[in-house]
Amino acid sequence: MDLDEFEAQLSLLLTEMENRPEDRHELYLTLREKLNEMRAFGMPVPEDFLALEKELEAEFSGGKAS
């Protein structure tokens, strides 16, 4: 899979998060999975997705985003 395909999947995931806020935790887990795949392939992870990952991680771990 190339970078454009990953970014397209991530964009679709963000749309799902907006449309299905009740499934936010499940979508967060999917986001983490996709970002970890990118990391495993040595692809750069876009900064906005890194920030979102950090924010959601804080939300679901009970911490605060910094």
Residue-wise pLDDT tens digits, 14-46: 888 888 888 888 888 998 999 999 999 999 988
Backbone angles phi, psi at 42, to 5 degrees: 75, 20
| Measured distance CA(66)–CA(15) in Å, rounded | 24
Write b or e for each residue in 31-64: b if 16 or more Cβ atoms lie within 10 A of its Cβ, otherwise e: beebbeebeeeeeebeeebeebbeebeeeeeeee
The pTM (predicted TM-score) of the whole model is 0.75
> What count of residues does the chain have?
66
Which residue has tokens 């991680």? 57
